[in-house]
Chains A and B, each alone.
Chain A
Amino acid sequence: MSGAVSISIQRFLIIYLLLIIVLAIMKKSNIEQTKLLFVASMRMTVQLVIAGFVLTYIFKNPHPVFTMVYIVAMIAFAIHRVLSKNRELNLGFKIAIGASLSISGIAVILFFVIAIVNQDIFNPQYTIPLSGMIFGNAMTGVNLGTKTFWESLDSERARIETLLNFGVEP
């Protein structure tokens, strides 16, 4: 693993200092969500530890299959997260979301890793972190898009229903 930075457990624990600040602000603002914050922190810790072990193994034993499996898992997770919040969408819409997340995500990763970073696309040390950022942001973007779509449907309900009732092509 070239260029990797080691962080000691003590330094890693400083991350939790930020959570204490959030907890203090929540207490001050009478937001009674301490349990939620605690559970979310624990979940984050477990996820980070598992991801750490998996990534350490992949970085030490780089193989195209590992990189591809990791990317496929990220795509599947991103699609699942978006669709689980939009269960009412029809099949065509769901396919469009899945296709746009995976095709555009992979295209952007290829562009970044090959054209910008100038590395092998199967080099896990570059491809996996970049993919994480790209799919994470893409997931947030699609979630915001679908949220706006539902809000527009609500606010424009009378107009949409009228046009449909009058035989206008959607």
Chain B
Amino acid sequence: MVKILEISDLVFMEKIHYPNISIEQGSIVFIQGPSGSGKSTLIRLINNTISPSSGRILFNGVNIEDINSIDLRRKIILVGQSPYLFNTNIKENFILFHKFRETPFPEDKKLMEYLHICCANFPLDTQCINLSGGEKQRIFLAIALSFNPQILLLDEPTSALDSSTADCVMVNITQYCKENHITLLIVSHDTVLGKQYAEQIIRIGGMK
């Protein structure tokens, strides 16, 4: 299998030392470890929103420092812990995010598909302000999926969801990513979720 990510000797702020990591294209990977061990920091390092003190991250064999950071983030999408949606309806949110990215806007049928994958079967004209935290999180995830990334980084994607909705989202997303050869990296405290869905588990130890 093709290695999509290779991380070696990575250190952040001279405090967090990461193990060497190798991730295959299209795999489902969970990143686990105690609070403060640098799990969320790792995925921010991978999409180059922050820089390491030393070490290197190769994306498709190329050091990410040598790739234009905007181009990189279009291929490696990070879905953070706090979903941000514009104060308008669901469809407008898809439109606005695609407009900001200057990417073609998917048709309504495709949008409904993304929402369905994220177990968020709401009408497209639903105002986001009226949605709960968990519902917003799923719509946010659906928007990220619509960008067709090569790698999808999810930071605690099920933190605001009840267990049955979390299962629904995880089953659908892992299946969609497998079908579309999208590599999925998930930061999660939930070890049960990891055991259930992960093909590879990376354990982050913490500070040295």
Contact = CB atoms under 8 A, between A and B. Distances in A.
Residue of A161, A164, A165, A169 with highest tally of chain B CB at under 10 A: A165
A47 B78 CA distance: 53
Interface stretch (B1-9, B69-77, B105-113): B69-77
Nearest to A162: B84
Given A158-B84, A161-B80, A166 B147 contact: yes
A164 B49 contact: yes
A165 B49 contact: yes
Interface in A127-170: 158-159, 161-169
A158 B100 CA distance: 15
A169 B100 CA distance: 8
B82 interface: yes
Binding site secondary structure of chain A: helix
Nearest to B79: A165
A163 B100 CA distance: 8
B101 interface: yes
B144 to A, nearest CB: 7
Contacts of A163: 100
Contact of A165 (B71, B75, B80): B80
B149 to A, nearest CB: 9
Contacts of B147: 166-167
Contact of B73 (A158, A159, A166): A166
Interface in B58-97: 70-75, 77-80, 82-84, 97
A17 B71 CA distance: 64
A166 B79 CA distance: 8
A162 B83 CA distance: 8
A160 to B, nearest CB: 9
B49 A167 contact: no
Nearest to B49: A164
Given A158-B82, A159-B84, A166 B97 contact: yes
B47 interface: yes
Contacts of A161: 49, 80, 84
Contacts of A162: 80, 83-84
A163 B77 CA distance: 10
Given A163-B100, A166-B100, 7 more contacts: A158-B82, A162-B84, A164-B49, A165-B47, A167-B73, A167-B77, A169-B102
21 contacts: A158-B80, A158-B82, A158-B84, A159-B84, A161-B80, A161-B84, A162-B80, A165-B47, A165-B77, A165-B78, A166-B73, A166-B77, A166-B78, A166-B101, A166-B144, A167-B71, A167-B75, A167-B101, A167-B147, A168-B101, A169-B70
Q: Which 9 A-B pairs have the closest CB atoms?
A: A167-B74, A167-B73, A165-B78, A162-B84, A158-B84, A168-B100, A159-B84, A158-B82, A168-B101
Interface of A: 158-159, 161-169
